Chain A
Amino acid sequence: QKEVEQNSGPLSVPEGAIASLNCTYSDRGSQSFFWYRQYSGKSPELIMSIYSNGDKEDGRFTAQLNKASQYVSLLIRDSQPSDSATYLCAVNPGGQGAQKLVFGQGTRLTINP
């Protein structure tokens, strides 16, 4: 079983709609969760961090964490063509603080104008 799993997509969403990206993880002791956006040929860019159960909102982005279900998601409201990218879910399996991250394979998102 992969440690961090994401649907590889591609996920196609019309402009202005809500894009929903999902991620599950296997290590129940994980405490820190991150979403990165990666444009083709570029390096990953951190867009959200979440550490507690529930929702965390930042602009058009909302991260949701459910530790009991070992599930973390990212919602993108009012999707724009510039949101088209690969979204990587990353988990710190060792708890909080500096540690290696385990990345999912990424979900490729396409926003259609």
Chain B
Amino acid sequence: EAGVTQSPTHLIKTRGQQATLRCSPISGHTSVYWYQQALGLGLQFLLWYDEGEERNRGNFPPRFSGRQFPNYSSELNVNALELEDSALYLCASSSKWGEQFFGPGTRLTVL
């Protein structure tokens, strides 16, 4: 069974630009979660999508947004990038029992 995939692996942007990160869940999983992990810090919940709808949102500004497509893949958009947005962005998908399985992550660097 293929795991969660994310692209790109690395992304380098400059302040003020926009970043788009992509995620494909495990086959059969309908829920996709996005987390931010800044260097040396814990996982901070960003967004949760299920069946194409945004179900919950973490304490992040509106310039963090996303969507889920009919095939349950998802993308995370970060507008007006700031230096502190530099982090590992993790996508996870979950079974109906709530176990979340993570992709390899996208490391975003903002210069």
Contact = CB atoms under 8 A, between A and B. Distances in A.
Interface of A: 32, 34, 36, 42-46, 49, 88, 90, 92, 96-106
A101 B100 contact: yes
Given A43-B90, A103-B43, A104-B42, A96 B98 contact: yes
Contacts of A101: 33, 45, 98, 100
Interface string B15-31: 00000000000000011
B102 A100 contact: no
B102 A44 contact: yes
B43 A100 contact: no
B42 A105 contact: yes
B77 interface: no
Listed from nearest, the 9 A-B pairs whose CB atoms lie closest are A43-B102, A105-B42, A98-B31, A103-B43, A43-B105, A32-B98, A98-B94, A92-B98, A100-B45
B45 A97 contact: no
Given A98-B50, A100-B33, A45 B102 contact: yes
Contacts of A49: 97, 99
Given A43-B105, A98-B31, A103-B43, A34 B96 contact: no
A34 B105 contact: no
B48 interface: yes
Contacts of A105: 41-42
Contact of A34 (B41, B50, B99): B99
Interface in B27-84: 30-31, 33, 35, 41-43, 45, 48, 50, 56, 58
